[in-house]
Amino acid sequence: MIRSHQVRLGALASLAALSLLAAACSSSGGSSGGGSKGGGRTASDVGITPTTITIGSHQPLTGIAAPGYSEIAPAANAYFSYVNAHGGIFGRKIVYKYLNDQYNPTITSTVVHQLILQDKVFAIFNGLGTPTHLAVAQFINSEHVADVFVASGCECWNAPSTLPDTFGWQLDYVREGKILGKYIEQHFQGKKIGFFYQNDEFGQDGVKGLSYEIPKSQIVAKQSYDPTNIKIGPQVAALKAAGAQVVVSFTVPAFTALLKLNMLGLKFAPQLVVSDVGSDAITLAGLLASFAKNKTAGFGNSLTQGIITDSYLPSLGQASNSWITLFQGIYQQYLAKTIPAFDGNVLYGMSVGYTFVQAMFKAGKNPTRADLIAAINRGLSQAVAVAPFGYSSTDHNGITGAYIGTIKNGALVSDTGVFVTDDSATGAITADSTPQPAAPSTGIPSP
C-alpha cells in the first residue's frame, strides 16, 4: 500500500532533523477493446493471455528514496489505464504489478523472484535504482525475462553480451556527467569545483562523465555518501574547507535536500549543480520544507532557486508542449486525487510508460519476450524524449542527450538547446537541432 506523500516526508523529516541539528552544533483498469473473444490473440508467452499483458516492477514505495520516486509507478500505471480505456495493445489491457523494495537490494531480490517465479510476469518494467537493480539483473536475464527500461542511468545496463534482455531508458549518467561537465567548463572557468555523489555506480558514473570535461586543476574535492546514512555534515564541511565555489551533486532527492540544508547550516553558498535524478523542483521544495520543519509559504521554493540541472524530457513549464498537455490531462483523470502535484516524477512515469506501449505495439499482435527484445533492438522513435534513443543490437542505452536549465520560481527554465554525446572520454558533445515530435492526437503510439 502506498503511503501518502506527507507521511513519507514526515518520517524522513524526523531523521533529517537529527542530522541537521548535529551539523548546526559543529492495477490498472479499463476496456480490453476489440471484437469477438480473443480477437485472434493467443497466450503467446508467459504473462500474455488473449486479453492481458502482465508486467512487474520493484519500486521504493517507502524508505529514503520514496519521496518523489514513489509516484513513478502509479504515474506509469495511470498512462496504462488510459491506454487500456482506449483499446489497449491490440485489444489486451496492461496489468502492472509493482512491489515495494524500500530501495533495499535484499528486498529487491525477494520481490523480483516473486514477480518472475510466482506471478509469472511477461517483463520486468522500469525497476528503480542502480544498487537495487544490480542485485537482480543477472537473475532476470538467466530466466530470459524481458528487463526493459530500467529506472537508472547506470552505464552497466548497456551490456548486450552479458545482459541481452536488459535495456536502460533515461540518459545514462556518463553522458549526463559529460553534458553537465561541459557546461561547467564553459561557464565556470577557473572556479573551484567540488563533487558530492552517491557511492555506487550511479554517482561514480556521473563523476566519470564530469571528469571527462572539467579540467582536473579545477576539481578541489570529491565527497561521497552512503544512502543508508543521512549524516552528511562531515562531507559538506570538507567541501567548504576545500573552497568549492561550485558543487556538483549526483544525488537522489532526499540527499539533494540534505546537502542544501547542511550548506545553509554551515553558511556555505556555492553554486549548486544537480543531476536530473535529484533535482525535481516540486519534490525538492517539499523535502526542504519538511526536513527543516518550516511551514512558511514558499520556503522550499526559495531554496531551490538558482539550482542548475539538466533534463531529457520537456520542462513542466512548457505549457504549450503537446506531451505536457497530454500527460496533464491523464494526471487529472487518474492521479489528481492521490498524488498532489503534476511534477517531474509523474512526467517520468508517464513518459517511460509511453515507451513501453510503443515497444509492445512494435513487438506484434501475439508477442513473445524475444519479440519485445528484438523490437527494441531495431530502435524506437524519440517520442517524449528531447533527444533520440540509442537502441540497437549493440547499444542498450536509452536517451542520448539533454538540455541545461535553471530552477526559477519552482520550475525548470531551459538555458540551452539539446546536446547529444556518447559515453566515451573523447566523444564530442554536439548540438541536436532535430525538433521533438508532437504527441499523437490519440495519446497512444501507432501500431
233, three cell numbers? 555534515
Q: What pLDDT, on a 0 to 100 scale, did the predictor assign at position 295?
A: 86
For 268-324, how does the pLDDT look when each residue is reduced to its tens digit (9 = 90+)? Answer: 999 999 999 999 999 999 999 999 999 898 999 999 999 999 999 999 988 899 999
For 150-161, how does the pLDDT look when each residue is reduced to its tens digit (9 = 90+)? Answer: 999 999 999 999
90, three cell numbers? 491490440
**Alpha-carbon distances, residue 278 vs 154, 249, 261, 363 (angstroms):** 15, 8, 14, 33
Within a domain: 435 = no
Within a domain: 429 = no
In whole angstroms, give the CA distance from residue 153 to residue 133.
11
Within a domain: 104 = yes
Closest by CA position to 59, among listed 118, 12, 112: 112
For 405-423, how does the pLDDT look when each residue is reduced to its tens digit (9 = 90+)? Answer: 999 999 999 999 999 999 9
Among residues 311, 328, 353, which one ends one of the domains? Answer: 311
Domain count, the chain: 2
Residue type, 28: S
325 and 307 in a single domain? The answer is no
Domain of residue 87: give its range: 5-172+316-399
Q: What pLDDT, on a 0 to 100 scale, did the predictor assign at position 37?
A: 55
128 and 152 in a single domain? The answer is yes
Q: What pLDDT, on a 0 to 100 scale, did the predictor assign at position 20?
A: 39
What CATH number does the domain containing 36 carry?
Answer: 3.40.50.2300
Within a domain: 406 = no
305 and 321 in a single domain? The answer is no
For 100-122, how does the pLDDT look when each residue is reduced to its tens digit (9 = 90+)? Answer: 999 999 999 999 999 999 999 99
298 and 202 in a single domain? The answer is yes
Q: Is the pLDDT of residue 45 over 70?
A: yes
Confirm if 327 and 423 have CB atoms less than 8 A apart.
no
In whole angstroms, give the CA distance from residue 223 to residue 239.
7
Within a domain: 248 = yes
130 and 149 in a single domain? The answer is yes
246 and 107 in a single domain? The answer is no
For 74-101, how does the pLDDT look when each residue is reduced to its tens digit (9 = 90+)? Answer: 999 999 999 999 999 999 999 999 999 9
Tell me, yes or no, if the pTM score tops 0.85: yes
22 and 112 in a single domain? The answer is yes
Count of CB atoms situated within 10 Å of the CB of 426: 6
24 and 158 in a single domain? The answer is yes
In whole angstroms, give the CA distance from residue 437 to residue 443.
13
194 and 294 in a single domain? The answer is yes
267 and 352 in a single domain? The answer is no
Mean pLDDT of all residues belonging to the chain: 92
Within a domain: 14 = yes
Among residues 285, 311, 337, which one ends one of the domains? Answer: 311
343 and 235 in a single domain? The answer is no
71 and 94 in a single domain? The answer is yes
Confirm if 209 and 180 have CB atoms less than 8 A apart.
yes
In whole angstroms, give the CA distance from residue 61 to residue 67.
8
Within a domain: 65 = yes
CA-atom Rg of the chain in angstroms: 21
Among residues 262, 294, 311, which one ends one of the domains? Answer: 311
Percent of the chain with pLDDT over 70: 91
